[in-house]
Structures are given as C-alpha cells and as structure tokens.
Structure 1
Amino acid sequence: MDDKILHTLEYRKILNKLTQYTQTPMGKLTSEQLKPSGDFEGVKLLLQATDEAANVDRLKGIPSFSGISDIKPALKRASIGGMLGTTELLAVGNTIGGARRVKRFLAAMHEEEKIISLFAQSELLSEQKHVEDDIRSCIDENADVLDTASTELASIRRELRVGETRIREKLDSMIRSSSVAKMLQDQLVTIRGDRFVIPVKAEYRAHFGGIVHDQSGSGATLFIEPESIVAMNNKLRETRLREEREIEIILYRLTALVGDIAEEMSYDVDILGELDFIFAKARLARDMKATQPRMNDRGYLKLRKGRHPLIAADHVVPLDVEIGNQYSSIIVTGPNTGGKTVTLKTIGLLSLMSMSGLFIPAEEGSQMCVFDAIYADIGDEQSIEQSLSTFSSHMTNIVNILHKMTPKSLILLDEVGAGTDPAEGSALAIAILEHIHRTECRMVATTHYSELKAYAYERKGVINASMEFDVQSLSPTYRLLVGIPGRSNAFAIAERLGVPSPILDHARGEVKEEDMRVEHMIASLEENRLAAEKEHERAESIRREVEELRERHQVELAKLESQRDKRLEKAENDASAILAKARKEAEEIITDLRLLAMEEGASVKEHKLIEARRRLDDAEPAPRKKAVSRTAVKPPRQIQAGDEVKMSSLNQKGHVVELSGSKEAFVQFGVMKMKVRLDELELLSAQKGGTPALRQATIVKRTRDENIRSELDLRGSNLEEAIMETDRFIDEAFLGNLGQISIIHGKGTGVLRTGIQEYLRKHRYVKSYRLGNYNEGGAGVTVAELQ
C-alpha cells in the first residue's frame, strides 16, 4: 500500500492509538510497522485472531505481559560467548517466566472457550523453567548476585563481613579516644575508594599518620586511613577481588545456559510480541466499540452505522453505505462543509483497518472487501515548490491513479474536476469517472457539478448520493443519502437569510425550466424518504416491543412449568416416603402376627397376608411422567368470557378474559394472560347470568390445615415474581381457612411494598390490609385480612 495513501487517510493515527495498548517493546514495534494486506486468506486469519483475543478480554481480561522485554541483543551476545550482566540475566529470567504465565493463561482459557489461533501460537512457546530457576537462584530482583549462588561466594562474603566488622571496631575504638577525638572533624567512620577512613581536621595532618585518600571541598577536612588498619584494608581489598572473580565465574556459567537456548528464546520473543500485538488490537476494538467485519474478495462493501474512528463519539455521524452489488460507483453531490470528504475518508480508513486485521467502528453485519490497493485524491495538495496549481496537483494524482488502478482497486476522488472552468471541469470529470467505471473497480467520488447528477442517473452501475442539509437550521446533518442527488438549496437559504422576494423571483426566472423540474423532483424524493424513514422507525419500534413481550411470555411460561414440575415431583416424593414408612410398619406388624400365631397356635392364612401386602404396594403412586399429556377435557358447556376455568396441563386456575375464535380463548392466570385452546380448559364455574344448571359451581370445603403457612417472605424477589408468589399464597391460605396472613417484603426502596399492596387492594379474597405493628416487623411487613 502506498505510504501517501496511508498519510492521506490518517492511518498512522490509528496505529498510534494501537501502540498505547501494547505492553512489550516487541508488541509496540509490531504495531508501529502494521500495514494493510491484500491477501484475502491472510486478512481472515488476522481478524480471527483479533476476534479470539476480544472474546478472551471479554470473559477473563487480557493476560499480563509484565516482566517480558526484548532480550534478543542479550541472546545474541550469549550465543557468541560473551558474558551477560546481572540485569540482562534477570531480564532473561523474567521473560521466561512471563512466557510461561501467558502460555498457561491461554491454555486454561482454551479449555473453557475455544481460541484455536491464540492457543496454537502459545503452544509454540518453549518451556525453559530450568534456566529461569538457575537464574533466580543466583540473582535477586534487584539484579544483585546472591550469597547462595555458589559455596565459594558464600565463604568469601563471610570473610568480607568479618573483615569489615574488625576494621570498624578498630576505628570505633580509635575515634572514641580523647586524644584522637579532638583531631577529628566528626566522630564517624566512612569509606573512600573501598577503603575505610576517618575525617581529620586539616591542621592536625602532621600529628596524624596514615594515608590521605580525599579531602572536603573547603579543604578543612582530610579523609585519612590510619596506619594501624592499612594492612586490614589491603586484606579486605584482596577478598573483594576474589569476590569479583567468583561472580564472573557464576555469570559465565549462567550465560552459557542462556546461550544454549538462545535460538528457542529468540523465537519465543517474536511470538510474545505477536500475542501482545493481537491483544492490543482487542483492547483498541473495545475502546472504539468496534466489531468484526465480514470479509470478501469480490469487491462488495457494506457499512452499517460506520463511524470515523478519529472523530469524537458524541460528534460523529454514523454512515450507511453499500457498494459493489447493484452499483460499483457512487457520485456524491452537495454543498461544501456537508461531510463529503469525511465520508470518503471513513470508507477508505475503515477499509485499511479491516485489511490490517483490525475491527472497525460499525454495527454487526458490516462487510468489507480486501482490495489490492486503495487510491485517493483528497484535499488541496497544491505545491508551491513545484509551481503546481490546485487543478494541476489533482490532475497529477489522478493520472497516477489511472496508470496503477486495477479492477480490484478502490478509488476515492474528492471534488473531481474542480479548480478550472466549470464547463470544461464537468466534462473532464465525466470522462474520468466513465473511464474508471469501465475498469470495473470500486469508486466513490464527490463533486459540485450538477451535470454529474444526470450522468449518475443515466449510467448503469452508477448511483447518485448526497449529504443531507437541514434548510430550517441552515446547517448540514452530515448524513449520507444514497440514491438521492444533492440539491443546491441556494434559493431556500437565501430566502431564510432575508433576500427580498423580487430578487429571488428574478433569480428563479434565470434558471432553466428543466433544472427547476430536477430540483422539484429531488425535493419530492427527500420528502418521500423522510416519511418512509419515520414509518420504518415506527414499525421497527413495534417489532422490538412485540419481540420483548414474546420473550417475556416464554420466560414466564417456562418458569410456571418448572415450578409445576417441582411441586408435583415433591408431592410424589412425599407420598412415596409416607407409603414406604407405612409399608415398613405393616411388614413389622405382619411379622409380629406370624410370631404371635406360632406362639398362640393360631393360624393366619398366608394368602391373606400376601393380598394385604399387594394392596399396600398398589397404593404407591407411579412416578409422574415429565411430558404432560394434553388430553382434551370436554367442557360441560361452551366456555364463555368471565368463566372460571382450570388448565389441566399447568394445573392452574384462571378466568376467561375473551374468546379468540371458536377454538381458543385468552385466560388470565394471576398476573399472566395466555392464549389457550378451549379443549385444554376445564370449566369450574360459569359467569353470572347463565342457566341454573350452568351456574352450578364446585363446592369446596374449607378446613384448617396445620401445614398451611401464615407468612410469605418475598425479600430478594422482583415485583413480577413477588405478585405470582402472593397470588399462589393467598389461594392456599384461603383454602386453608386462614383469616390473617403476613407478607414480608422488606423496607428497601418501597417498590415491592407498593406493588404488593396495590395487588392486595384489588384481590377478591382480601378484605383489608395494613402495615405490620412494631412487634410484627413494622413497614417491612404487610398484614392482610382474608374474606
């Protein structure tokens, strides 16, 4: 890709944003050198890796690349026999450890969510833990060689500590002496050039023996090594030299280990840089709210709500554009400052980003094409040095484009033919566009010339487009309108600005009647488009609302079925437990009867005992089948609106709201209304006004059951769940002959309390309700009196 195009479309600014998310020098370098690719399969692999990294980031966050650095120079020196310093060896150890962490992170992630590309790359990382362990056993985090690096080094450092202690003790005793103390500037021991010295006043130099190693800036203090410790300092110096030689031996040994794995580690560094780069692309995509485009190599481009990534999100206007299907060229007309140039740059820049394996700031379903090249002539590139006018500069660029373009290229032309006589410029623009269009490449061009509107209208494969302009506010909206040519809006703007009517009438008279008809046609098209957009938005809103209601209904239905299955299963389990206990007791009784019969000499018929046991076995209920049989229940009469009915499959009671045809009805089950077939309903009680036979209702005997709850705890539930539970609870309490119930909803924000009390106010079984007293829970409890 030509560097000039990358500069024109501001591609480098995208790379600068990308490098901010890298964690390693290698990843940063890879990001800085990123170029768009014309290889279709290669681009798909790049986008796949970015998509996997985005999924990892969304689920677990990105792996840490801390401690990983570019150790290639150190590896090269180690491989040719040079000695690495402690800092370089520590960097090698940290990089080995960082590579192991990244590899384990991606392996664990791959087990949960398949990340084929990233996992394959991480598996290529070598395991060099033995070298890392050797380095860490010899060098600490501050790049200092540890005493434990070798037995000899530990021994030497013990000698050093003993020698330093003896010298300090000797000097401490000396400076505490009254005869010496008066000659000292300060009573302290210091070091100059690895030699222990004491600060002596300059006037006592003649009275104080020893070696002068330094003096203060003023010359008033001399740092002298007393003769009594010269031999001890010499011995300490020899010991330090031995320490340095031993450290060199250790570093050479570690360097040799690094040299043995230099080739593998160099490859690991490249992989780590690539992985860091891929995760940086994922973070950039998250920052831009970008999505993965679908790629093709057939010249088809479709942007859905595409946004220029360098324009602030609160100012950018999304772009919808499609090219390469019914038409291969778009001619955008309209006034200046309408956003035509931004449109060109958006199409070009998003194409470059997708061809680089980057996600694009657009909605899901956008499609991008892999072009062999993108050519653009955008902006005023007049050159004073080359004495080229604006027109000449544009023509030079266009000539280069005409020589290099192919059928698989994308051409972006801004104000084609501008900068010269309008008549000649428009004719030249039409000729250039026609030549490019015949080449069958993809092209988007902007122009002021109205003659190009007719060209785009008449030419197959070419379509008009314009930038929307709000005449009322006299400002552009920056929206691209494909299929509608641009209007000049000159008369409308002049009228809004207060130009007198006679002048406007005279101006309109100067315009050709044909041109006026075209302007009226364009205005009519815009009005129809705006009306169609409003209708589409309204239809889309209704569709979304219906979808939400349908999903909510399915969730509620599934919830009801799940609750029903759990309750029936619990009831069966309870019944089985009771029968099992009864069977055990019966067996014990039968055994006792046999023993008693034997003792008493009586006879108990064995077949009677067997028959009794069989009856006990038959009493156990068979396990309920999960699949609910929808057996048609013939109603005693035709079900009507207002009837109380029972749905057999759900074991729920409700009221018929209205009939839907001759076979279905809408039934209210608590807070939920469902559409149910009539043959699934069992009539419980008819509405008032029917015949006496039909008004006959099922008589329910209300008896007090000690197992019926008198309290319901709704804390932690949402309002819909709470109302469903309250409805079920009131039914159970009413059938259990409870006169008073307590509903615990908590204090919280009051939403749950208000909703429950509003529901109680309308319930037919509730006579009254109130908040709990102090000893009943206060405002966190509602107490209801039942009919």
Structure 2
Amino acid sequence: MLYPNNSVDKLGFTEVKELIKAHCLSEMGQQMVDKIQVMNNYDLIRKFLSQANEFKNILVNDAPLPIHHFFDIKSLATKARIEGVFLSEDEFFQVQASLNTVFAVISYFNEREGQYPDLEALFEHLPIEKVILKHIDRVIDNKGKIRPNASRELMDITAGIAKAEQEARRKIDHIFKSAGSSGWTADGSLTVRDGRLCIPLLAENKRKLKGFIHDESASGQTVYMEPEEVFVLNNRIRDLEFERRREVVKILTALTDELRPYVPLLLSYHSLLTKLDFVRAKALFAIDVDGEMPVLDNDAKIKLVNARHPLLLLSFKKEHKTVVPLNVQIDEANRVIVVSGPNAGGKSVCMKTVGLLQMMTQAGLLIPAAEASEVGVFKQIFVDIGDDQSIESDLSTYSAHLSKMKNFVENANGKTLILIDEFGTGTDPQFGGPIAEAVLESLNHKKVKGIVTTHYSNLKIFASNTEGLENASMLFDNVQMKPLYMLEVGKPGSSYAFEIAQKIGLPQNVLNLARNKIGFSQKKVDTLLVDLEREKKELYDTKVAMEKQQRKVNALLEENEKLKTYYEENKRTLISEAKQEAKNIILNANKLVENTISEIKSSNADKDKTRDLREKLNVELAKNTVKQPTPKPAVDNEIKIGDWVKLNDSETTGQVMEIARDNLIIAIGDLRTVAKRNRVQKVSKKEVPKEIRRGYTNTDSMANFSPEIDVRGKRGEEAIYEIEKYLDKAIMMGFGNLKIIHGKGDGILRKLIREYMRKYKEVDRMEDEHADRGGDGITYVYLK
C-alpha cells in the first residue's frame, strides 16, 4: 500500500517508468510498463527481479536474443476468431514474423537449458505449432506479399494480366511512334493520367486519332489520349485485376479459416512476446543506470551499499559527472534515521534515493547499488514530501502535513516504511517541534522503519536519547563551505545557517544581530555540532590516509613473504640438485679411477697406454671443473656518433648516427630507429660481424639520399623497376614526398607509373608539377 497515491510522482517512480517505456519495441510492452506497481509478495518480487537480471546477463554476456519483430497479434487473433472475416496480406505477414520470433526465442533458450530458469518459465509447457507457419508460408512470401502460385486460378489470372499489359504496352508504343513520325505528338513521352497510359497530342491533332481523352495541359495546347485499341485492352486488364482481387480474398479467407483453431495458441504466443519486450526494456534500463539485483529479504529492513539515485545518475552522466554513493542501513536496532545538516546538503536526495530504490525493488526492477545490498519487503510505504496544500480541501501546508501524520500514526506498523521530509515545518517552530517529536515517538512505539529529515534541534536530541532512532548528518566542508553529499550515521549535523549566510555575503552587523537573538544554549549546541563535524572530518581524512598507507604496507609484506617463500623453495631445490650432482661426479670419478688402475695393471704399466689413460682422466677432470670467469677489461661506456651499439633486449646491432639528449638515432641496415641511451650497450667494432659492417658502407649515401628520380628515355618495365627500388628506400627512410621525372611524350610512361603507384597503400595522392616547372612531365608522390 502506498500513501498518498502521488508518492510515485514525489519519489520519481513515474519518471523511471517512462524511461523504461522508451526501451519497449511494442505498444503491448509499453502497456505492461504502465501497469508496473509496487508489490509486497516476496516470491513474485524475486521472480521479476531474477527475470530482469537474467535478461541483463544475456544482453551483456551472451549472444543477442533473436528478437526482431513485435506485432499486436492479439488483435489479429481476435479478428480471425470471427466467422467470415479474413486477415489481409499485411496482417498475415505480422503473424508470420511474430511466430518466427517466438520459435527463434524458444530455440535460443532450449540451447541454453537451465541457464536462465526464470525466463524459461515464461514459455514453459507452451507448444510449438510450426504447422501454422507452414499454412501461412504456402500463401504469403517473406516480404508479406501473396505468392503468385497460391492457387491455380491466381496463377492463370496473373499470367493473363501480364500478357494483356505486355500487349497494351506494345500497341501504345506502336501508335505513339506512328503519331510522332506524323508530327501529331507534343514534346514529351508517354504519361499516366487517371491510372491509364496516355499519348501527349497537340490539341489541333486530337481528332486524327480515335481514343479517349483523359486530361489536357494547363495551357490547353496538349491533350492526353488513350488510343481506342489500348482502351479495350486496359479494360480487359482492369477486369482481370478485379478477378485477381476476388481470388486473393478467397485464398485469404480459406487461410483465415485454417488459422482459426489456433487462436488460443496465438494469444499465448502474444503473451510471451509482450512479456519478453517488457523484461527486455527493464534490463536495458538497468544497464543504463548500472542496475544490479540486490539480496532480497522477506523481513522489513534495508541495507544499501554504494547506492545512487537513478535519475540523478542519468542526469550526471550527460554532464560527465559522478554521483556520491550512499551507504545506509535500517534494521531493528536503527529503525528510523533522523538526517540533519545544511540546506542543499543532500538530505532530501538521500531520503528520496532510499524510497525510490525500495519502490523499484518491490516493483521487480534492478537498482543502482552494489550486489551486496540487502532490500526487504514492506507492506506499506508512507511518504510526506512537499506541502500538498489544497484550496479545494481548504488545507494549508501545515494542515496537509498534519493530515498525513494522522494517517501515519493510525495505520503504520512494523512492516511500514516512512519517508518524511522537513519533519515539523510549516508552523511556529516553538509548537511544530514538540508536535513532530510526539508524532515521531508514537511512530517509534509502532516499530516503523524509515528516514526523517529535519532542522529541529529537539528532534536531534530526542533521536540521540531514544532506542530505535539514530541520528545521521550530511557531511559539510566548513573550510571551503561546500556540502560533501556524504551521509555520516551516528551524530546530528549543524544547519550551518550562520556560516552559509556569511559566505553568501550577508552584512556582518546583521549576522551579529542574529547571533544575539538566539538563545545561549542553542548557540552552544550549534557551535558544538560544528566543532564535532570538523573533528569528524579530520578523523575521517586521517582514517582514509591511514587505510591507504596500510594497504600499501600489507601489499609490500605480502610481496616480501612471497619472495621469501620463493627463495626458500629455490634454495632447497638448488642445494638438493648440487648435492646430487656432486654425488654423481664422485661416483663417476671413483669408477674412472678404478677402471684406470685396473687397465694400467692389466697392460703391465705400458708407457703409451699409461699416457693415454692419464690424458683421458685429465679430460674427465676438466669436464667437472668449474671455470672461474675471467674479468672483462674496462669498457668505455661513453657513446659517440659512429660508435657501434647493441640493443639490450635483442641481439640487434647498429651504428649511432645522431645523439639527441637521452635518445640515440641508430642505423640498422637500411632502417633507422630511436632508442633510449640506457637501453643499449656499447660494443667494439670487432664484435660486429663483417657482413653487418659491410652493410653500413652506404650510410653516407643514405644520408645524402635525394627524393627525386629521373626515368626519362627508359622503357616501361625498366622505369617501374627503378621506381620500385627508389620508393621502397624512400618509405624505409621516412620521406614524405617524392619527385618522379618521366617526361611528357604521349603520356604512356606517365600513365603506367601512376597506375603502378596506386597499388601501394603507403601512397596518399599524386599531383602534376606546376605548369611553369614541367607540368604533367613530372609527378609528385605524397606518402601517408
């Protein structure tokens, strides 16, 4: 239950529905959006939320759902139900297209059985009667036109019309040419008048031909005549067209009769298409507002994490701004949040965000909040926003507020969500404050839940001393004098009335006068709140900085622990491998020594044999001896033009051509590259292979390369060959344009060269030289 009825407008729910409607493909879907309402059935809400969430997952993560056509087949099925009535070609096409969409959608979900259970439930037990499509396809083609072979009679009539039209055209063409050669026709060609093909004749010649005059020009000098022979043929065509129309009606009537038994099934298909369009629109809106499915709870409670007002979010997106997220929790411990703080600080937006997101959730819509958010189900939502004064009902602003409070107190319970903006305003604060406090106390006894915004100090004090009520404030930067739009639960907030007035520029004497007029206690409380807020802000900033620093420390500790573990594991592995290798060396050495002694003994200490065995032993010993690296001589690391260098991350070697601060321009073959000084190492010329050094003999000639080539007097193939080598070199060296001198002659060489150059994707455009400097005898080639 919503009270009052205009709560949906006050909280922006009506505007949300309009935005969803804009995503609908059909009028039926829009009608379903109009019927969206706040529900309190837990199972129904969960199902609608899950359907929207599943469709959102399809749109974001899966292949597109094959939804192409949405037509109102309900009205067509209702029409087909009446005996003697038939559907038109276009109406059958709408049924045909809609059924193709239905069957494609069902096939899509069948391929993903079990992946989207709540969407699959939309067409559960729905039979697939493709025989309906077969009946329609036999008569209607995929463009929505009746097939020429829909019946034998239609084929004959269509052939007769084509033949008669051909004969009529041939006849009138013949007469037109004959009249034209006699000089009877006016300027122009055959023209259509009253749906008939006519010959334009000069008015003075109209009696020289037999026929029917359909029209004349504005000046009266030209008449438009249908020759007598053609007139008879056209009448025959018209008769055949009437026959064709009658045959088409007969065919469509028979097809409608075949469709009639399937009317109940067509209505079921219509229902599926409407629901799909409806859920699709909800999912698209959810994507627009970054909507997620919260955890739904059957209890009356709210826990919003990083929640944002959807309408504010869309508005800020257009301006490339971000919305400050809201975090709020309403449960049995903190049933009513009393929000205070400065004007324009975001109190009302905070309350409206909670109310609108609650409405959206209970209407089955995804909300712009983190998935960790928990949203309960309330039986009643009571809203008091705005003055709602009424001349007709003789209600003032305060009377309207009191009327609502009366209804709240009488009907609220533990399953009620209340949202009251500027509680107690509209009358003398001396009396409005106590009345508001009494109403709040009564509502608290009824265990209601909700949010109340206020500036009244007595309500802030009451909330701080009453179980079930919790103070909260919208943070304010009292140094820069601007709101932060962040909700801080646990303490009331100052209205910052004097601070804001001072910033706006109210005269100091007026401010001093105002300060003297407020009570000492009130002044002390407000000053205390300002100081508390300042200290809270400082603590918050310090906390954020400490958390950031702690995260860095934790990351470093974690990385250090990983490295320590890695080193320990590798240390054990290396020691184990070294021990095993040493063991193997010793075993092999023992075997070798034993074998050597044995062979020496068996050979009776033959000198040659002994020498061979000793050499063999020394070879094996050398294999297992670790060679100590010989220290390399000191290398001059200063790099100069002409030095040879090697890139650190590859074996590529090149010669330094230029030095620009920390950048080196290096020639590598015919190419040039730029590298940072710390990414190369200097090498001696001896370390560079001879074939690479030979490749740099033309370095000077590359530096002197001129982007101009003269191919005058050369044969086509020879010229193309020269230009090809020249162009490749120019591209590698990064030249922007080239000049090719080919001469004028007959223009054959020029044409051949330009056609060849167009094959290069690096060529942007070609132009002739200025007429005074060679004209089309020279081509300028501009490279990309």
Is the TM value for this pair above 0.5? Answer: yes
Which residue matches 1:296? Answer: 297
2:179/2:185 contact within 8 Å kept? no
Aligned mates of 2:556, 2:227 — CA distance in 1: 96
Aligned mates of 1:503, 1:43 — CA distance in 2: 56
What is the number of residues matched between the two proteins? 606
Tell me by how many angstroms 1:74 deviates.
Answer: 1.2
The answer to whether 1:85 aligns with 2:102 is: no
For 1:541-556, what aligned pairs fall within 5 Å after superposition? 541=548
| Correspondence for 1:480 among 466, 487, 491 | 487
TM-score, length basis structure 1: 0.68
Q: What amino acid does structure 1 have at the position aligned with 2:423?
A: V
Tell me by how many angstroms 1:387 deviates.
Answer: 4.5
Closer/same/farther in 2, CA of residues 298 and 99 from structure 1, 3 Å limit? same
Structure 1, unmatched stretches of 5+, are 558-664, 668-672, 687-697, 704-722, 727-743, 779-787
Closer/same/farther in 2, CA of residues 500 and 26 from structure 1, 3 Å limit? closer
Which residue matches 1:325? Answer: 332
Which residue matches 1:445? Answer: 452
Tell me by how many angstroms 1:757 deviates.
Answer: 5.2
The answer to whether 1:347 aligns with 2:350 is: no
| Correspondence for 1:666 among 545, 560, 564 | 564
For 1:580-619, what aligned pairs fall within 5 Å after superposition? none
For 1:703-718, what aligned pairs fall within 5 Å after superposition? none
Structure 2, unmatched stretches of 5+, are 580-622, 629-647, 651-667, 697-784
Aligned mates of 2:188, 2:288 — CA distance in 1: 63
Aligned mates of 1:129, 1:465 — CA distance in 2: 62
| Correspondence for 1:682 among 564, 567, 575 | 575
- SS in structure 1 of the partner of residue 310 of structure 2: coil
1:96/1:128 contact within 8 Å kept? no
Closer/same/farther in 2, CA of residues 499 and 214 from structure 1, 3 Å limit? closer
Aligned mates of 2:180, 2:511 — CA distance in 1: 113
Which residue matches 1:573? Answer: none
| Correspondence for 1:27 among 26, 29, 42 | 29
For 1:130-529, what aligned pairs fall within 5 Å after superposition? 130-178=131-179, 181-185=182-186, 188-192=189-193, 195-216=196-217, 219-311=220-312, 312-313=316-317, 314-493=321-500, 514-515=521-522, 518-519=525-526, 521-523=528-530, 525-529=532-536
Closer/same/farther in 2, CA of residues 549 and 213 from structure 1, 3 Å limit? farther
Tell me by how many angstroms 1:4 deviates.
Answer: 0.8
1:168/1:189 contact within 8 Å kept? no
Closer/same/farther in 2, CA of residues 131 and 685 from structure 1, 3 Å limit? closer
- SS in structure 2 of the partner of residue 268 of structure 1: helix
The answer to whether 1:104 aligns with 2:107 is: yes
Q: What amino acid does structure 1 have at the position aligned with 2:81?
A: S
Tell me by how many angstroms 1:527 deviates.
Answer: 4.5
Deviates more, 1:162-171 or 1:249-258: 249-258
TM-score, length basis structure 2: 0.69
1:372/1:408 contact within 8 Å kept? yes
Tell me by how many angstroms 1:83 deviates.
Answer: 0.8
1:23/1:65 contact within 8 Å kept? no
Tell me by how many angstroms 1:226 deviates.
Answer: 2.8
- SS in structure 2 of the partner of residue 467 of structure 1: strand
- SS in structure 2 of the partner of residue 486 of structure 1: coil
Which residue matches 2:47? Answer: 45
Tell me by how many angstroms 1:61 deviates.
Answer: 4.8
Aligned mates of 1:135, 1:214 — CA distance in 2: 43
How big is each residue's C-alpha offset from its partner over 1:589-639, in whole Å with a ceiling of 9 and x where there is no partner? xxxxxxxxxxxxxxxxxxxxxxxxxxxxxxxxxxxxxxxxxxxxxxxxxxx
Closer/same/farther in 2, CA of residues 496 and 700 from structure 1, 3 Å limit? farther
Aligned mates of 1:151, 1:47 — CA distance in 2: 54
2:216/2:223 contact within 8 Å kept? yes
Which residue matches 1:74? Answer: 76
Q: What amino acid does structure 2 have at the position aligned with 1:56?
A: I
Aligned mates of 2:688, 2:412 — CA distance in 1: 81
How big is each residue's C-alpha offset from its partner over 1:23-46, in whole Å with a ceiling of 9 and x where there is no partner? 233222222321121111110111
1:307/1:318 contact within 8 Å kept? yes
Q: What amino acid does structure 1 have at the position aligned with 2:247?
A: E
Tell me by how many angstroms 1:18 deviates.
Answer: 1.2
Closer/same/farther in 2, CA of residues 540 and 279 from structure 1, 3 Å limit? farther
1:68/1:99 contact within 8 Å kept? no
Tell me by how many angstroms 1:268 deviates.
Answer: 1.0
How big is each residue's C-alpha offset from its partner over 1:291-346, in whole Å with a ceiling of 9 and x where there is no partner? 11111132110111211111124253221111123111111222322211111111
Tell me by how many angstroms 1:410 deviates.
Answer: 0.9
Q: What amino acid does structure 1 have at the position aligned with 2:16?
A: I
Aligned mates of 1:61, 1:19 — CA distance in 2: 24
Aligned mates of 2:125, 2:678 — CA distance in 1: 61
- SS in structure 2 of the partner of residue 682 of structure 1: helix
1:106/1:122 contact within 8 Å kept? no
2:301/2:377 contact within 8 Å kept? no
- SS in structure 2 of the partner of residue 286 of structure 1: helix
- SS in structure 2 of the partner of residue 148 of structure 1: coil
Deviates more, 1:433-442 or 1:404-413: 404-413
Tell me by how many angstroms 1:685 deviates.
Answer: 9.1
| Correspondence for 1:13 among 1, 6, 15 | 15
Closer/same/farther in 2, CA of residues 749 and 469 from structure 1, 3 Å limit? farther
2:304/2:373 contact within 8 Å kept? yes
2:90/2:144 contact within 8 Å kept? yes
1:26/1:270 contact within 8 Å kept? no
Q: What value does the CA root-mean-square deviation take over the aligned residues?
A: 4.1
Closer/same/farther in 2, CA of residues 34 and 551 from structure 1, 3 Å limit? farther
Tell me by how many angstroms 1:364 deviates.
Answer: 2.5
Aligned mates of 2:542, 2:522 — CA distance in 1: 31
